[in-house]
Amino acid sequence: MKEYKVLVNFYKAEDGGRKTEINTTFPYRPIFVFDKKNYHCQIDFEKGVKFFPGDRVEAIIRVSNCPIKIGDTFALRELKEIASGSVVSELM
């Protein structure tokens, strides 16, 4: 799995996003959507920090077999699309 630093914009509930905060106690594993394809991913947020619908956050994402590069945009889904984001940098 490759690691990337990303900027994620979580949609507000009234815009179709989550209605509850994002739990940072455990790894967050939404579906990563890039170029109309679904990928498995894990997003690592700073532990103990709470994120709410409508927040914009930087995070580290791990995604496998996905041809993303710096500047690409993506979406995150749970049962529906809940966020969009962009790749800031690739980490080694």
- Tens of pLDDT along the chain (92 residues) come to 899 999 999 999 999 999 999 888 888 899 999 999 999 999 988 777 888 999 999 999 999 899 999 999 999 999 899 999 999 998 86
pLDDT of residue 79: 87
Q: How many CB atoms lie within 10 A of CB 60?
A: 14
Residue with tokens 């791990």, as numbered in its chain = 62
